[in-house]
Structure 1
Amino acid sequence: AVTYWDRLGWKDTFGSPAWTARQWDYARAAGRPQVATPQVIINGGPTIVGSNRAQLEAAIQRAGPARGGPAISVRNGALTLAAGKDVPSTIWLVRYDPRTVEVPIRAGENGGRTLPHRNIVRELVKLGNWSGAVTELPLPSAPRGLSSAVLVQQGTGGPITAARKL
């Protein structure tokens, strides 16, 4: 959830300037001149409108698995990234709400509608760095009601080379 649509007269209750900055970092790193929502990028490929299910599923099939990042495993409260190609990366822990939340939209192109929101990011925590060596980090417990995922991302805003839902 981002903040750049707030100017339309309705503030996204899940929006965060940090999420907006992160989306712009990712766009700049890929040489993209703009951002949009709901935007999906698979394995660094072209942007896809995330609400177009058929287009999204076709793009996932074409892309195949992520390449270049480490295998991610979880055991006994620890996160382990396997050895791999030396590409300095950041390890992110994403906490999200898996429930569907119905949100009344007050203004803008969806004004007057109530739209479902799911997998709402509530927290993004930098766990550490990965530079190709086996890396083990303690995995903090998820706050009640939130689910977690791990992302391995090259540099600031670079491609995500590995991900795992926990």
Structure 2
Amino acid sequence: MNLLRLATAVLLLALPYGALAQENVKRPKAVVELFTSQGCNSCPPADETLSRLALAGDVVALAYHVDYWDYLGWRDTLASADNTARQQEYNRAFGNRSVYTPQAVVNGRQQMNGAKRGKVEAAIERMAGTAEGMVVDVKVSYSGDSVIIETGELPRSVDEAHVVLVYFNAASEVEITRGENRGRNFTYLNAVSGFHSAGMWHGKKARFELPMSEVAKKGAGGCAVLVQEMVSGGLPGPILGAAIVTRPPNW
């Protein structure tokens, strides 16, 4: 993992610190959400795939560490019950009978084994630039003590969608001393530390204003904005737009 650690350091040094973020809106190619666990011996290849996507910079790559493998002998240091609940909601939306790791979800639309790098990349490329890709512009800027999120519109009706803020740790080094991955060291990128809805979105241009202090406190490592459609029962569905919130100098 030495090469990955070096790449991580370069990435962190290169993070933009301009007064305005997203001034020229560029849609990411995709959003990839990985449900993973430090106690899962089949997860390291998936973790590496997600790290490569995060470092490439054109995909919003998020790692949700889950807690249901903690009984195997190692308690995941980045896991949360909320992350597990999000995976369970996705699986109900997909009609799955059970959850598993590593599971990757691309654009909220397609699931696959996250360790199958070729399948993940093929899903990204298949959806990019189509109606299943990022079709809504998301712009993030700063005004005084506020973070401003602005969205474009969608040329169709939307029954229910949320603007979701996802907070993550840019890089977390973990030494695993027990369980199936004992004796191994990993640098996990973009491990999700929390998320919440910033408001409802109805398919039209919209503006959301949030206190910078709140976003800075929760998103000290980083923050992503997802425009996500909800499906039957309020379950997570297609992700229509996304952006990474960059940090101002006083963050």
Mapped pair 1:48 → 2:113: yes
1:126 alignment counterpart? 197
Counterpart code for 1:28: R
1:67 and 1:104 map into 2 onto residues whose CA distance is: 36
What's the counterpart of residue 244 of structure 2?
A: 165
Q: Partner of 1:153 in structure 2?
A: 228
Partner deviation per Cα, 1:17-64 (whole Å, 9 max, x = no partner): 111011110111121223233321213123132x44444333322231
Q: How does 1:21-36 map onto structure 2 within 5 Å?
A: 21-36=85-100
Which segments of structure 1 move beyond 6 Å, counting only runs of 4 or more? Answer: none
SS at match of 2:187: strand
* Contact 1:78/1:137, CA 8 A, preserved across alignment: yes
Instruction: Supply the AA of the counterpart residue of 1:79.
Output: I
CA contact (8 A) 1:28 1:157 kept: no
Letter in 2 for 1:151: L
* Higher share of residues assigned helix: 2
- Which ranges of structure 1 fall in alignment gaps of 5 or more residues? none
Cα deviation, 1:102-143, whole Å, max 9, x if unaligned, reads 212233321222222111112212100101122110144323
> Matched residue pairs, number?
164
Residue 167 of structure 2 is matched in structure 1 by: 95
Q: Report sequence identity in percent.
A: 35
Q: How far apart, in 1, do the equivalents of 2:133 and 2:75 lie?
A: 37
Say if 1:19 and 1:28 are closer, same or farther in 2 by CA, change over 3 A: same
What are structure 2's unaligned runs of at least 5 residues? Answer: 1-64, 246-251
1:15 alignment counterpart? 79
Task: Report the CA distance shift for 1:58/1:83 in structure 2 as closer, same or farther (over 3 A).
Answer: closer
Distance 2:122 2:135 in 1: 23
Q: What is the letter of the counterpart of residue 110 of structure 2?
A: G
Instruction: Report if the CA contact (8 A) 2:103-2:112 is conserved.
Output: yes
Give the C-alpha shift of residue 83 in structure 1: 2.1
The CA RMSD measured in Å over matched residues stands at 2.2
One-letter amino acid of the structure 2 residue matched with residue 57 of structure 1: E
How many angstroms apart in 2 are the aligned matches of 1:86 and 1:14?
A: 38
2:135 maps to 1:63: no
Q: Please tell me whether the aligned partners of residues 173 and 188 of structure 2 are also in contact (alpha carbons under 8 angstroms).
A: yes
The question of whether the paired residues in 2 share the 8 Å contact of 1:30 and 1:158 is answered with no
Q: Paired residue for 1:83?
A: 153
After superposition, what is the alpha-carbon deviation per residue over 1:54-93, rounded to whole angstroms, capped at 9, x for unaligned? 4433332223144475321123431011222322111111
CA contact (8 A) 1:27 1:157 kept: no
